[in-house]
Amino acid sequence: MPTVFYLGATGYIGGSVLADLLKIYPDLEVTALVRNTAHIDAVRGLGVEVVQGTFSDVDLITSHARKADITVNAADTDNVALSTAILAGHKARVVEDKQSPAVLLHTSGVAVFLDDGKEGKHDPNSKLWNDGDEADIRAITPQMLHGQVDAPILRASEEGYTESYIICPAAIVGPSTGPVPSASFFFHFMTQLALGFKKAIYVGEGSNIFYTVRLDDLVDLYGRVFARILDRVDAKASPYARYYIAVSTPLSWKDIMTVFGGVLARKGKLGDATAHSISLSEAPYPASIFLGASQHARGERAKALGWVPRPVVLEDWAEVGISASLEKLQQ
C-alpha cells in the first residue's frame, strides 16, 4: 500500500474520511499531523502514526509531503502557507529526488463559485459552474474564494510537480464520525452569525442559494476518488478533469436561517424565531462575503463515478448540528 501523509485527522471532514478509509484499507500506512497533544491518543487509536506539529511548521510539512506517496489535505481550505509547503515537498520529490509525482488529495469548497451578488437574490440564468467542463475549472483564479489555494495546486499539477485531485464540497450536514468530535463549519458559522445579531438574518429577499450535502455522502465520494487514485485510473488525466464538485440540495438563505432561528429560539438562545431581512452593509466581514451572494454549480464528474448524494432536509439535521456548534462555542 502507498504511504499517506494526512492533514485534518481531527477535523469534521478529515476525521470522518480518515476513519472510513482505514475501514476500507486497514493496511494503509498513514502518518497524521496532529496539532493538539490532547488528540494524539484518539488519532493513534485508528492505527496511524502521529507527528505532532502545527500548520506553521512548514519544514516539517514539506518533509513529510516529500516522502509520502499521497498527501491528503482535509484540514484547511484557505491556508496558502500550508498548501505551499505541501507543493514544495512534492516539487522537491520530482526535481531533486527524481521520483514520480506524489498525489495531493485536496479539499476546497463550493464557495469558490459564489457569484458577485450583493442583494440576496438568486439568478437562475447566472453562470453555471460544472465540474464536467474543464473550461470551468480552468477559469478558477487566485482572486476567487478558495482560489488562492486551488489555482496554484492546479497549476503545479499541470506542470507535473504533483498529481492533484480536488474535492469541492457544499455546506455539510450530519454528525462527525472521526476520532475527535467536531462541528460542521456550516452549522458553526450560521449559529455564530445568528447569535451575533441576536436574530436569524438574511440579505434582501433571501432567495440566494447555498448548496448542501450530507457528510456520509461526501465521505463516500472521497472513498470513490481514493480508489481511483490507488488504481491509477486518472493518473494521466488533466488536473482539470480531477476536480469534483460535491453538491446535493440547494437551499435559499431565507429558508436556511428560518430553520436556524426556530431551533435557536427553542433552545432559548434567541428571543425570536423569525428570520429577518437586513442589508449587506449591516453584515460584518467575513459574513459579508457570503450573505448577499449565490451559488450555481453542478457535479457531473462526481456523479459519473457512481456517486448519488441523497437529498438534504435541513430540519432533519439542524438540532444535532446546532447543538454541536453551541457546545463548541462553550469550550
Q: What mean pLDDT comes out for the span 62-80?
A: 98
Quote the strand ranges of the chain, DSSP E.
Answer: 3-7, 29-34, 49-52, 70-73, 103-107, 129-130, 163-169, 171-173, 200-203, 209-214, 243-246, 250-252, 275-278, 297-298
Please give the pLDDT value at position 288. 86
Let me know if residue 19 belongs to a domain: yes
Cell numbers at 215, concatenated: 457528510
Let me know if residue 107 belongs to a domain: yes
Query: Please, is 55 exposed, middle or buried when counting C-beta atoms within 10 Å of its C-beta (0-12, 13-18, 19+)?
Result: middle
Let me know if residue 26 belongs to a domain: yes
Let me know if residue 146 belongs to a domain: yes
Let me know if residue 65 belongs to a domain: yes
Let me know if residue 189 belongs to a domain: no
The domain in which residue 148 lies consists of 3-114+128-173+213-246
Please give the pLDDT value at position 268. 98
Closest residue by Cα to residue 207 from 145, 124, 323: 124
Specify the pairing of strand 3-7 against strand 29-34: parallel
Q: pLDDT tens, 179-191?
A: 999 999 999 999 9
**DSSP label of 36:** -
Q: pLDDT tens, 156-177?
A: 999 999 999 999 999 999 999 9
Please give the pLDDT value at position 3. 98
Q: In 3-state terms, what secondary structure has residue 59? A: helix
Looking at residue 137, which CATH number applies to its domain? 3.40.50.720
Let me know if residue 151 belongs to a domain: yes
Let me know if residue 43 belongs to a domain: yes
Q: How far apart are CA 308 and CA 103, in angstroms?
A: 25
Per-residue pLDDT band for 114 (boundaries 50, 70, 90) equals: very high
User: Which range, of 80-84, 122-126, 226-230, averages the lowest pLDDT?
Assistant: 122-126
Structurally, the chain folds into a number of domains equal to: 1
